[in-house]
Structure 1
Amino acid sequence: MFKHSLLIAGFMCWYFPAVLATQRMYVKSGSVANLSCPYETQDVSIKWRGPKNLTIYSINNNVNVQIDVSSRLKVNVESITGTYNLLVLNFTSADTGLYRCDTILNKHSVQHEIVVNVAEAPKHMEIINETSTGKIIGTQDFPVNLICTVDSGVPLNTLEWKNENRSIVGNYSDIVSYSFIATRDQHLKNFTCTANNSFYLVEKKIQLFIYLSPIVKLYVEPSFEIEEGKDVALTCEFESNNDLVELRWIKDNNSLSVSQNNHLLLTNVSKDDEGIYFCEVENQVAINSDQTEIKILYKPRLTDPFKIFEIESSIGQRSYISLNISSATRPYISWTYDPGPVGKLGYWNIQEIGEENYQLCSTIVPYDHSHFRTYGVRVRNSVGILNINVVLVGFTVKVFPTKLVRNLSDEIELNCNVSKNNLNASHMWIHSFSGVEIRILHGKVHDGMSTLHIPFSDYKDAGTYTCKWTSSMETHYSSSHIYVKSHPVLTSLHTFEKNGKTTLEVSFYSFPKPTAVLWFYRDKLITKLQLDNEGHVKEAPVQLFVYNRSVIATGYVTWHQVNETINPVINFFSCQIRNYMGNMDVSFHEYNNTNNTTTINSIDDENKKSLKYYLVGTFLTTVIVIIALGIYKHFYRPSVATNAQNENQREQEEVSRNSSQSSNNHSYDEVDSVYYHSVEWRNYNFEPPASAINDTHVNADYSIGSNDSEKVGDDPDQTRNDIARNSYMELV
């Protein structure tokens, strides 16, 4: 029966043209291949053919038992559609190939072909740049590229990236990539690479690790508003998932510190601590910061803390007072109580002129001279108080500039103004140097201002210039201090001999300070001294002549010791003193030949001998006077009239004697006379003879700018000895 059916079917297929329809199908190895034939027929048979060589597998629902795979074949007839489906059980790669079902429809032979292959899974899936811990490293706000590769299976698979089971990107190839800008939200998110060919699903997960910019938060304790004098603590908290962190504290764009310390303590805060504080944290990704504004609640303060509130007024005149202050809150102001005489005090008007800045205005009207005095003002806010003194004066005098430094030969100009309400006041300039009044000057007055002009200045023009204005009621002063930079100025030369050695001493005045002192012998440098060498250059008071006035100023003294006591040797020494303005050269030979040179003995033995003569002479004189007085009292007691007559006679003798003395060309000048009845003692100063000047054992003393000798030496008794040696007592 089966053979007969095959013959009929073969004849019909040969006779009628075939209609081909081919389908491709994949089956997993070991599963059931369900091959569906789309033809429905009831009176014509349906045949299934398969590999190899399209062997007949079944006719209708009858399986060909003669083939090897018959045991794994089965034909199902769909009851609804009437179609015949071929089932291949436990499908293997040997079962792959071309399958065909054929039949006759409408007298035509039709065929449906199915190529069946074994499905294969994708293999060797790999994620590029994956770390050993299954992570992809990225940086916030920078691109991240996810790349997945796979060896495609059979049939061809889809390859895609998924995030949270949502497909992001995919294709039908062996590589898929996804690029994006990393955000903070994607840190530690999981991404999945999926390869799916409907039979096999291969996937691999990775975790995204994003280096994040720091998160910074700044906290203030106890509050961002703090009273002056208290402490405030700032704490900077931050999050960073990398260790390369640097923290900076910044105030008003000025760096305060760079450290790992996230605490900043402000102690005893003041208005200067007010401002915007930043905590700036930097890691390898970015710099982030947080900020807070610290507001200092402070007591009222003057906008100009150095301003002196001296108000000019006159009796019956309204004087206006204006104070500019800073205050954290709106201030309250009042006059302070004063039991003394006061003028008429006005009310205070407060006007805000800017953030935390206020202008306070009021008036005072004096109606008596006692009202020119100091008035107290108190400004208060929630933090504290500010006391201000307002001085009401009749008129004020101001000199400007108050301090002036000039170089040698520069001009000096000082201005002194006085209130226009007192233009009739007289004025003068008083120049003083080291506390000594030097001269009176008069400036040019115009519109209440006196201008003093000195066209060429030197050291004598330095000092204090006081502008003095005097009205009919009062006098006011104001001063300016002038400093003139000049080369050193010589004040005196001295030589001292002791123990066979001679000390050469130079006293001088210098502003600015001297920088060096050089000593020469026969014009060759023998030593160079610096100012800080206290052994040979030091500060000392010096006598300076300023416009013919002698003043004691702070100067300098330097000295050099010579192992000789011969004048010609000393004459070869010279000295040069330097400062930044110039030099001064001093030659001992030149000053030995000047009229200002005074030579005095200075050997110790002669000093002692002179002192001895002086003391003995004084003692003998005293004894003689006492004896004479005793004899007079015992042997002569004249009457009152006789005493008066003797007194008149003595006065006439004195006049005669003085007249005779002044007519004689005596080589001595009389200094003083003392009379004890008939005994007269006279004290004379004398100039030493020429032989004394040429004596090699001398102490030379030169005073620059004066004919009077200045005695300077190491021995404090030297001056007394010199006076004693240059004087004598004469008994008449």
Structure 2
Amino acid sequence: MFQQSESFENIVYVRANSTVHLDCPILPAQDALIWRGPPNSMIYGINGKLNGILKKQNRISTTQNPETKKYKLTIKTFSEEDEGHFQCDTVMNGKTLKDESTVVLAESPSGIYLKSTNGTGILVCDEGLTVEVHCTINEGKPNATLTILYREDVVAVRNSSHLSYSFIPTKADNNQWFTCVADNGLYEIETAMNLSVHASSDFVVSPEVKIIADPSSNVEENTNVSFHCTIETNTFPTSLVWKFRRNIIKEVLSDELHLPNVQRYHYGVYSCEVQNRIGTGEDSLSLIIRYKPSVAEKYTDYKLEAELGNPTKIRMVVNSFPEPEVSWILSAGGKLGYWIVKTNGDRSYSIKTTILPKEESHIGKYKIRIRNDVGSTDVIINLVSRIVTIKPFGGVCNSTEEVKLMCVNKAEYLQAGWSVAWVHKLNGIFMRSPFTTRQGNLSTLEIHFCDYTDTGAYSCKWTKGKIVYEYTVKLIVHEPTEVLVAWLFNGKIIQHPNTLPISRQYVNLTIYKKFVSVEGFKASLLLNFVSGTSSGLYTCLIRNSFGITETLFKDSQINNAIDNLKLKLITNDTISTKSDGNSIEGKYSNGYAYGVAGALAVLLLIAIIVVLINQVRLMWRVSQDNNATFNVSSQQIVTTAPTHQEEESLQPISIYEEIQSIHSQVNDTENTSGHVDTSGSETSSERPYLELESPNTYEDLEKPEIEMELYKTC
């Protein structure tokens, strides 16, 4: 916020979408203090209470300082509709006292331009002759201060829209830089130009250069930007180079510079330099890239240890342009501090504040929003008890190995009466209360053989009367990654099985007698029956590094699926056709019966649902009659078992269909230790490895069940 006094009126300049605080210096006696504002000096509030008919109450508040007893009016996300005259007033000893301010949206200066007395668009001068350099701008709000720098040294300063600097150049000044900066306290812009000095006998015909930016030199990140360099000269040939921050861009030689999908690191001064045998012409333009705030550590989920009655300090570094603002959007009840935003330079900011938890319920989830006029980023802050901790903070165990979780109670006076309990949850579902050992203030949970059933969240809770301290961590079990599938008929591997692509599907597993929904896969085999019924045993063989397991499909299951398909087709399908007097050929329809096996492949990484698909050819018998319409009332389904030649081709071979390793995320909602990176893409196959479950190699095998799904193509 920038203030300027004029004719005894206090004018306050603010940036758009910023938060404005107006302090009333009047200390009210017995009468009320009234805040008024636009439009038409309407009453905003009396003392600390807002006017009930005020439309923008969600953005305006009035508060009293408990120490000075003075009042403050706060307006959030200040916009053009909020501009105008504000005042606070009261009556004291029969006299009216008031303080007035006019709040105006600040505007950036624009159209900054450098030129010399000998030309425009390029600083050209003759050796030994006085030359004037002029810098001009279009005024913003408030008025800007112009500064001219030569060789990065300040040579002229003035609070005006025009500034001049005179000097006598020498040969040593050739190719030096002038920079003009306009700063009104809220916005700053600059431009720079190269100085070309010629001997007094030379006729100045060096190129005149001008850069034009399309669509603008002030854009948001991910915008396509092009610079066009226009040249005026009567002396050829010429050579052209582009520069970025005074360094030559070697790969660009044309008069156009294209910057697709600009990023924040593309900001800075771009120059087009054109040279002929007489001299050099150059123009520069500052590219400003605006982007929404992002946390430098790339985390959006933090865990911080907290102690009741003591403030927890929060600090993070944010990259943003323009400057960010920070606000609380979720609280667990602790006292929230004010956010302090401090620049680190180069568009980096340090933000800090505190949270003061006063009771146990204040240990929990908080959320902040970091915002500028481009966008916003939300950050979660989880406060966890400093009294109780579990080590390691993030448990990781390779399958078949062991892991130890140690829960420490750091209470200052750990006396008798404390009890400790552990709870294991998976996807928010209670699994078990595991056995642990305790020595004083240390409780230890040991898992001697890690497998998929041990994945999940583990909570350690210390209790003494009404005092409860709790801490939670997640345990990740790394499993084998390569899984292979093969199909067999009567014990022989099918050489070229007609399979459908393996698809992803959620399945329910029984873990510790609880049903848990996890992500698995469906493998499918397509069989073509011509007549009769199935005679033979189909097997789905699944292999990983721990071994092999199989799921069987018996004749009865397959034939029941075919019979059910027949029943559905007879009940639901009719076909109409018209005779043209000629022989009518039979119409054909293909039906697909999906037999879904309820048995889950016994793997440590991926749950496989095996699906058997029967392709049945249906032949329709249609009578004929001239110019008549027929409704088919009966159908004949013709099927055959695999031929002897087909059975001979089913020889044992080592052919497996590979299932790619895809990791799935755990959905537990408890607070956990460590940071969580949410920048991954949903389409990536390399998702963060947290939790993808299936039965182990020793249990949880269910009997296959057939579930019918009917599909028909004509």
User: Shared fold (TM-score greater than 0.5)?
Assistant: no
TM-score, normalised to structure 2, is 0.35
Q: Which has the larger radius of gyration?
A: 1
TM-score normalised over the length of structure 1 = 0.35
